Structure 1
Amino acid sequence: MHPTARIVAHPRTWAVPIVFLVGLAVLFPAVYLFATVDPQKHLTDLPVALVIEEQTIDSPPSAAGAVADAIEDGAGTEIAFTRMTPSELADGMGNDTVAGAVVIPADFDQSIASLLPGSDTATVPTVDIRTNAGDGGLSGGLVTGNLAPVLRGVASGLGAQLAASAGGDALPAANQALLATPFDVVSAPYAELPANAGLGTSAFYYALVLVLLGFVGASMISPIVDSALGFAPSEVGPLVQRRPYIAASRLQTLLAKFGILLAGAPVAALAAQLVAVGPVGIPVSDPVTLWLFSTATIMAIGTSAMTVFAIFGNGIGALVNTMFFIALSMTSSGGTVPLAATPTLYRWLSEFEPFRAVVDGVRALLYFSGNPDAGLTEAWVRVAIGGAIGILLGITITALYGRVRMFTRHPHLEPSTTT
């Protein structure tokens, strides 16, 4: 048997890749689909404000207060209500701490009174559902989809109470018809997104671009540097080049890779931003801060991915990086599916997965005028800490590897003969 055929036929050559491939075929659908296929099933404690505006008339008992109480009682565990004033709601929307709001307007009690007998004119009031457009269309859909049935049920119950207290069947037919649905439900964004915002998804995809620049950049720089040092051959199409080996330690090699990435990150961030702002047309209120944050993100993700390659090698390292920086990170980012609508596992992962911080930072810059309290400050801190951990861990591990004889990178020496 030809040596090539004998090597390929060995189970260690073909069985291990097939096992990995089948494992990924099970793992990837489980990771991506489990987190996203049924947001309503996993929805818990979606933060929503409940606002009663100061009423124009004083008519105890207040119908507005009764409606607010009934809304809180009618909502299940899917919604977590917080009573707010209109000014507090403005802050909550601006800080991205609420996904939506139920607003009972100032003329509600007065309009309800006009539906009863004796009023010259009748005005059917509205109760408003306000969504936080910056959280994306799916978040808005969950807010509206869960609140609208509750409000319709509250309206029906309020109408029955009012009709009974006003005379029941003795009421004129017109009043009975009005009280059957004593208020309408209107849904709209609290504040419209700027143009070219992708219905609240542009922040997620811009964050994805930054993460990929760091991840793919690290994946490209590592083999190029290894090839330049003669540690591995360089192959471009049919061309194969083998450079003379240069005896560089693991630590020296990693520092060289760090240096290249750190030098290229600001240019890559600027190029991505110019494309996004120019041909794509994404509006950016603070381009300098977005560029700085993008640069920091590429640096943090790229150096951390290089550390993973240095620790596990290019093969297993690529799998670890893909799972940590892409698969698990995307599904726990809250960028498309709100974290309140994901399984508990993904909410836990969001506490340390980097994509969450990047999405929050970009979202604050694109949709919330760079408001530090809208997640930008925390994003800066998490990106900085994550990048620092990646760099320090890489330096520490490669330095330790260099002290072990069997871990030599020298291709011409047996590990046992290395000093």
Structure 2
Amino acid sequence: MKQLFKLSSSWFPIWLISLLMLVMVFVYLPIFKGAKQNMSDVPLIVVNEDKGKVGDAILLNLIEKQNGNSFKWEVDKSRKQAFTDIRNNKAYGALIIPSDYSKSLDRVHDTLISGLTNDKPADLEILLNEGIGQTASMIASNTLQTVALTASKGISSQLKNELLQKGMRVAPENASLLENPVQVVSKNVLRLPVNLNKGMTPFVMALISSITGMLGANMIHGYLLRSNGILKKRGSALSESEVLTSEIIFGIILTFCVSIFIQLGVFGIFGSAHASNIWTIFLFTFFSCTTMFLLFKTIAVFLGGWGMLVMFPVNFMGIFSSGGAFPLSTLPTVHRLFSYILPTRYIVDGIRALLYYDGRLEAGLGLALLALSIYFVLTLAILIVFISLTKKYKEAVVDESGKKIEVEVGNEIPHEPPTHEQRKSLHTGEKDGMFRQAVSNLAKGSNKEKQEMNDNEYRNALKSLDKNKK
């Protein structure tokens, strides 16, 4: 055992895995650290339909104070356009300034100055995309609420200064109106049921699909090799190409079964909300699971025993860069880069579109199908080519071995046709042993050599040999 500890190769897994885990710390920890540093990519919409000038003041405030450093504001022309963008998952939320916003504030002003009561505050509407996930939805809601409340406080401050300058007091019934001259009305655009699992269902389904692919590629390979060892003892072992073909078939069966169990658990037991047909969701889940299996199987084929070291970070990088647990806009740059490369992000987007956005292609399903199809076709084609090349290489090796064996046999048992003296011994009875050896050599020769000898001569030789023996 001491000799084992002295070998440098024995320590290789120790330092390699340790180094890999250190890299994982640098990769994953920034996700939790840098969320607030990447808010400039959070997509929010503002719509100013106000026919007066007060709505423009809100826009100017956003331009001056936000200036693209905190959030990514998009200006839509109408509430309808903002509604469509949210339904297509293009934004986290929208702030709508209605057409009568300035008029409503003028009415509030007149009410407070005149001492009238029972007036209502002006409205600002917030549209929320509740299907984007709990974290992103909270970011949008808090941000839009802050903008609306800031506008309300600004107007309230102006009204208080005006009343103070005029030496007027506000009626007790108007105290609340003075403090909150603007009220915020929030609305969930998708109108999804309550049971959303905080919007994490797409992430969980993508997570299971990815883990299924990684575990399936490794475990099926290991157990089929063991089974092939049993077949080898029975004399019916499979070739390498046949084993790989069997792994792909078993992998597809595995992903089919897992996809069924996912549907039973998510929709049957937990009753998660879904806007699309369950069969459509099942087909997409099955397609996603199979694609992940083929991806990890391709990695294993190329890297062999080293494949697991690559599968592990690929799997977890895909999970953390998927945008399922944390919004893509809040992730560090390296994770957003990998989100475009790895397929897990597209699985999340596709399932999210099916669950919450009626399966619309514009909501992310179209891009997800395109990206996953590219992965599916490429990995399957690579595996088919590898199977074909392995099979051809095996046949070439067998043919080469056969040629070598044939040459060796020919050298060990050379064939020479009977000489004239050997044939003459049939009549004289001499050199009987030599002739028998010649006939034996002829019998052991190839069919082509036998045909070259006259059939009648061969039979006559055997008859004469038996006659002399008698």
Please give the range of the TM-score, normalised by the shorter of the 2 chains: 0.7 to 0.9
Instruction: Name the SS of the counterpart of 1:350 in structure 2.
Output: helix
Deviates more, 1:37-46 or 1:113-122: 113-122
Which structure has the higher relative contact order (CA within 8 Å, separation 6+)? 1
Query: Which structure: larger Rg?
Result: 2
Instruction: Name the SS of the counterpart of 1:258 in structure 2.
Output: helix
Deviates more, 1:337-346 or 1:17-26: 17-26
1:101 is aligned to 94
Structure 1 length as normaliser, TM-score? Answer: 0.81
Structure 1 position 124 matched with structure 2 position 154: no
What is the deviation of 1:264? 3.6
1:413 is aligned to none
1:343 to 328, 332, 343: 332
Q: What is the one-letter code of the residue matched to 1:336?
A: A
Structure 2 length as normaliser, TM-score? Answer: 0.73
2:212 is aligned to 213
1:390 is aligned to 379
What is the deviation of 1:254? 2.4
1:92 is aligned to 85
1:62-211 residue pairs with structure 2 within 5 A?
A: 62-75=53-66, 76-84=68-76, 85-116=78-109, 117-118=113-114, 120-121=116-117, 122-160=119-157, 169-170=165-166, 172-174=168-170, 181-185=180-184, 187=186, 189-211=188-210
What is the deviation of 1:403? 8.5
1:238 is aligned to none
1:261 to 227, 248, 251: 251
Cα distance in 2 for partners of 1:242, 1:30 equals 49
2:433 is aligned to none
Root-mean-square deviation (Å): 3.1
Cα distance in 2 for partners of 1:205, 1:97 equals 22
Structure 1 position 15 matched with structure 2 position 14: no
2:369 is aligned to 380
What is the deviation of 1:352? 1.4
Which protein has the bigger helix share? 2
Cα distance in 1 for partners of 2:234, 2:272 equals 44
Deviates more, 1:390-399 or 1:129-138: 390-399
Cα distance in 2 for partners of 1:299, 1:224 equals 19
2:341 is aligned to 352
What is the deviation of 1:243? 7.7
TM-aligned CA distance change 1:294 to 1:114, over 3 Å: same
Deviates more, 1:218-227 or 1:115-124: 115-124
2:289 is aligned to 298
1:231-242 residue pairs with structure 2 within 5 A?
A: none
Q: What is the one-letter code of the residue matched to 1:257?
A: E
| 1:190-210: CA deviation from partner (whole Å, max 9, x where unpaired) | 344324311111111122122
Cα distance in 2 for partners of 1:391, 1:318 equals 19
Please tell me whether the aligned partners of residues 228 and 243 of structure 1 are also in contact (alpha carbons under 8 angstroms).
no
Please tell me whether the aligned partners of residues 47 and 80 of structure 1 are also in contact (alpha carbons under 8 angstroms).
yes
What is the deviation of 1:392? 2.2
Q: Give unmatched runs, 5+ long, in structure 2.
A: 398-470
Cα distance in 1 for partners of 2:316, 2:81 equals 37
1:271 to 257, 261, 265: 261
Please tell me whether the aligned partners of residues 158 and 182 of structure 1 are also in contact (alpha carbons under 8 angstroms).
yes
Cα distance in 2 for partners of 1:200, 1:47 equals 18
Q: What is the one-letter code of the residue matched to 1:45?
A: D
Cα distance in 1 for partners of 2:348, 2:167 equals 56
Please tell me whether the aligned partners of residues 193 and 200 of structure 1 are also in contact (alpha carbons under 8 angstroms).
no
Q: What is the count of residue pairs matched by the alignment?
A: 385
Instruction: Name the SS of the counterpart of 2:287 in structure 1.
Output: helix
What is the deviation of 1:377? 1.4
